[in-house]
C-alpha cells in the first residue's frame, strides 16, 4: 500500500502535499512525512501517526520552498521504528536527496546482502534504503543517470519521487502495478500522486497517468517537465487497487474505481445469482459492489449493517484476538430491517475470513432467515508480493479451504466468489492486470 506525492513549482508546496496525503490517508495510517526544498535546503518532518496529527501549522511553516515530497506509510506488523518512516533523506557525493517510495522490491534481500558485503550500513528495514545506496555508489556524474543505473539493479514494484535541492524525479516501474498520476495545479506548478482523488482536493487538473517505465523530471526554472521512457513498458495494473485499495473517486488508467466496483457487483449478480429479499453491503468496502449487484439482480438494496466510524481499519490489528474485537465494535446490524428476511450480503474480498464470520453471525442474530454471502472478487489464494500486506499462505483462508469448507466455517447458507474471467471483463480487457493473489502468477522474474 502506501501513498506518495510530489509537488513542484508552487510556493505552497508543503501545504499542497499535506492535503494530498490527507486525501490518501486510506493507503496508510501508521506514519507520514513531508520533505520540502527551498532550493538551498531540504527540510523533513516525519512521525508515526495520522496526517492531521503529525502536521500542525508550525510543522508546515517549517517546510519551506516551492517543492515537496510526501508519504503515508501502511502499517505492517512488527516494523514500528521511526527509521521505517519516509521521506528518507540522505547526503551523498553530489548533494542531498529526499526520497519517497510506494511498492515492494522482489530482490531486496539479494541487493541488500551484496551492498552490505561491500561495506554499506543500513538503518531501517525498508527497501527504499537500497535505492539510496545504489544511487550513492553509482559513478555517473549526474543524479538522473545515477537513478537510472540504480533502478537497473532492482526488480519489483515502485512508484518513486526523488527530490534534490533543485530537481524532482517521478518514476513508475515498468509494470505500472501501483497507480501514479500527473496533474497541473491551478495555482501553479505540478503534482504527482498515487491517486487522483488527491487532485480534486488541491484543485489540480489531471494531465495523465505516469507511464509504466517512465521517468518525469521537473527542474527549477523550467516550466515544462521532461519525460524519458527508461524501461520497456509491460503493464500489469494491480486488480486489487480497483477491488479494495483505491478510493472510489479515484481514476486509474482512465477507469473510475467506483464504477469498476459497481461493474464487478453487476457481474457477480449475473454469475452468482441468489434468490433473496434484500441486498446488504458490508460497509464501507462492499457498498459499491452491492449497489451494482442490486441494480443488476433487481433485488432491493438496503443498509442492514451500520458502521462505527470512530474506529480505524480492522485489518491492521496485528493479532487475531484484537481483530475479532475490532470487527465487533465496528459493525452492528439493524434488527428491525433484517428480521425474517432472506439476505444476500456483499463484501469486496475475503482475506482471513474474520469479517465474513462476524457478519454472518450478526445477521443471523438479528433474525435473518437466510444469509447468502457473495464476494465481488475471486478467492485470494496467494499472498501478494507486490506491495499489498496480505498475509502468508497459512493465514489466507482461501489458500487452505475450499469455498464449500469456508461456507461451513462462516456458517453462511451459501457462499460464492466472482470468477477471475468475470473480474477481467468487468475491468475491461484492454490491458493486463496483476492477478497474482488470485492465480499465483508472480510474473516478475
Ligand atoms: P478478512 O476479514 O477476511 O480478513 O478481510 C476482509 C475484509 O478486509 C474485507 O472487508 C476487505 O474490505 C478488507 N480488506 C481486504 N484486503 C485488505 C487490505 O489489504 N487492507 C485492509 N486494511 N483491509 C483489507
Ligand atoms: Mg471491508
Nearest CA to ligand 1 atom 11: 349
What was the pLDDT predicted at 78? 44
Q: Which residues are designated catalytic? A: 2
Say whether the peptide bond before residue 284 is cis (omega within 30 degrees of 0).
yes
What beta strand segments (E) does 348-431 contain?
A: 370-375, 414-417
Task: Give the whole-angstrom CA distance, residue 164 versus residue 286.
Answer: 42
Å from CA of 1 to ligand 1 middle: 13
Residue-wise burial string across 152-185, b where 16 or more C-beta atoms lie within 10 A, e elsewhere: ebbbbbbbbbbbbbebbbbbbbbbbbbbbbbbeb
Å from CA of 394 to ligand 1 middle: 16
Integer angstrom CA distances of residue 179 from 5, 158, 251: 12, 10, 9
Q: Which bound ligand lies closest to the C-alpha atom of 284?
A: 2
Q: CB of 351 closer than 6 A to ligand 1?
A: yes
Show the cell assigned to 160.
518513486
Do residues 171 and 230 touch, judged by C-beta distance below 8 A?
Answer: yes
For 266-308, the pLDDT digits (tens) are 999 999 999 999 999 999 899 999 999 999 999 999 999 998 8
Q: CB of 379 closer than 6 A to ligand 1?
A: no
Task: State mean pLDDT over 129-151.
Answer: 95
Q: Angle 108-117/128-137 helices, nearest 10 degrees?
A: 40
Q: CB of 391 closer than 6 A to ligand 1?
A: no
Mutate to test the pocket of ligand 1, among 351, 381, 394 (most ligand atoms within 8 A of CB): 351
Q: Which bound ligand lies closest to the C-alpha atom of 349?
A: 1
Asked whether residue 76 carries a pLDDT value surpassing 70, the answer given is: no
Ligand 1 atom with least separation from CA of 323: 2
What was the pLDDT predicted at 317? 58
Taking residue 335's Cβ as centre, other Cβ atoms within 10 Å add up to 14
Q: Which fold has domain 3-235?
A: 3.60.20
What was the pLDDT predicted at 318? 57
Report CA dihedral (117, 120, 121, 124) to the nearest 10 degrees: -100
Name the residue with higher pLDDT: 68 or 443: 68
- CATH of span 260-439: 3.40.50.2020
For 156-169, the pLDDT digits (tens) are 999 999 999 999 99
- For the chain, the average pLDDT equals 92
Show the cell assigned to 343.
439476505
Mutate to test the pocket of ligand 1, among 3, 75, 329, 355 (most ligand atoms within 8 A of CB): 355
Task: State mean pLDDT over 385-404.
Answer: 87
Name the residue with higher pLDDT: 315 or 21: 21
For 220-271, the pLDDT digits (tens) are 988 899 999 999 999 999 999 999 999 999 999 999 999 999 999 999 999 9
Using pLDDT thresholds of 50, 70 and 90, give the confidence band for residue 344. Answer: very high
Bridge partners for 7 per DSSP: 68, 191
Task: State mean pLDDT over 322-341.
Answer: 85
Q: Which of 290, 286, 321, 324 is nearest to 307 (CA)?
A: 286
- Per-domain residue ranges of the chain: 3-235, 260-439
What was the pLDDT predicted at 201? 94
Nearest CA to ligand 1 atom 4: 352
Å from CA of 351 to ligand 1 middle: 6
For 179-228, the pLDDT digits (tens) are 999 999 999 999 999 999 999 999 999 999 999 999 999 999 888 999 99
Amino acid at each position: 500500500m502506501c501513498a506518495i506525492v510530489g509537488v513542484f513549482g508552487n510556493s505552497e508546496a508543503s501545504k499542497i502535499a499535506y492535503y494530498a496525503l490527507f486525501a490518501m490517508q486510506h493507503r496508510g495510517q501508521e506514519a507520514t512525512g513531508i520533505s520540502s526544498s527551498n532550493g538551498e535546503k531540504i527540510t523533513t518532518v516525519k512521525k508515526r501517526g495520522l496526517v492531521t496529527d503529525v502536521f500542525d501549522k508550525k510543522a508546515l511553516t517549517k517546510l519551506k520552498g516551492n517543492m515537496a515530497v510526501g508519504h503515508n506509510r501502511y502499517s505492517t506488523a512488527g516494523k514500528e521504528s521511526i527509521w521505517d518512516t519516509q521521506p528518507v533523506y540522505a547526503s551523498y557525493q553530489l548533494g542531498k536527496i529526499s526520497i519517497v517510495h510506494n511498492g515492494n522490491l522482489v530482490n531486496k534481500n539479494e541487493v541488500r546482502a551484496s551492498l552490505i558485503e561491500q561495506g554499506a550500513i543500513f538503518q531501517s528495514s525498508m527497501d527504499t534504503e537500497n535505492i539510496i545506496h545504489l544511487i550513492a555508489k553509482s559513478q555517473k556524474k549526474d543524479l538522473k543517470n545515477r537513478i537510472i543505473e540504480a533502478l537497473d539493479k532492482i526488480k519489483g514494484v515502485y512508484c518513486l519521487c526523488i527530490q534534490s535541492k533543485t530537481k524532482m524525479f517521478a518514476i513508475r516501474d515498468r509494470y505500472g502495478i501501483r497507480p501514479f498520476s500527473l496533474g497541473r495545479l491551478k495555482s501553479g506548478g505540478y503534482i504527482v500522486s498515487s491517486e487522483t482523488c488527491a487532485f480534486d482536493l488541491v484543485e489540480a487538473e489531471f494531465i495523465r497517468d505516469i507511464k509504466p517505465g517512465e521517468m518525469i523530471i521537473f527542474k527549477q526554472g523550467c516550466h515544462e517537465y521532461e519525460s524519458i521512457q527508461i524501461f520497456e513498458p509491460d503493464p500489469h495494473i494491480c486488480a486489487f487497487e480497483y477491488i479494495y485499495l483505491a478510493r472510489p473517486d479515484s481514476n486509474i488508467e482512465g477507469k473510475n474505481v467506483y464504477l469498476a466496483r459497481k461493474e464487478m457487483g453487476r457481474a457477480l449478480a449475473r454469475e452468482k445469482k441468489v434468490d433473496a429479499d434484500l441486498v446488504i453491503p458490508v460497509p464501507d468496502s462492499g457498498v459499491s459492489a452491492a449497489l451494482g449487484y442490486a441494480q443488476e439482480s433487481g433485488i432491493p438494496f438496503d443498509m442492514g449493517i451500520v458502521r462505527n466510524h470512530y474506529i480505524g481499519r480492522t485489518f491492521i490489528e496485528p493479532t487475531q484476538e484484537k481483530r475479532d474485537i475490532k470487527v465487533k465494535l465496528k459493525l452492528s446490524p439493524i434488527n428491525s430491517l433484517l428480521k425474517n428476511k432472506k439476505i444476500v450480503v456483499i463484501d469486496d474480498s475475503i482475506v482471513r475470513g474474520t469479517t465474513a464470520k462476524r457478519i454472518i453471525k450478526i445477521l443471523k442474530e438479528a433474525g435473518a432467515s437466510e444469509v447468502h454471502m457473495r464476494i465481488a472478487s475471486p478467492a485470494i489464494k496467494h499472498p501478494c508480493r507486490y506491495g499489498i500486506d496480505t498475509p502468508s499462505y497459512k493465514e489466507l483462508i482461501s489458500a487452505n479451504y475450499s469455498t464449500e469448507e469456508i461456507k461451513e466455517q462462516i456458517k453462511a447458507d451459501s457462499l460464492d466468489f466472482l470468477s477471475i474471467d468475470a473480474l477481467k471483463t468487468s475491468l475491461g480487457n484492454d490491458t493486463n492486470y496483476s492477478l497474482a493473489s488470485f492465480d499465483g502468477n508472480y510474473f516478475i522474474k
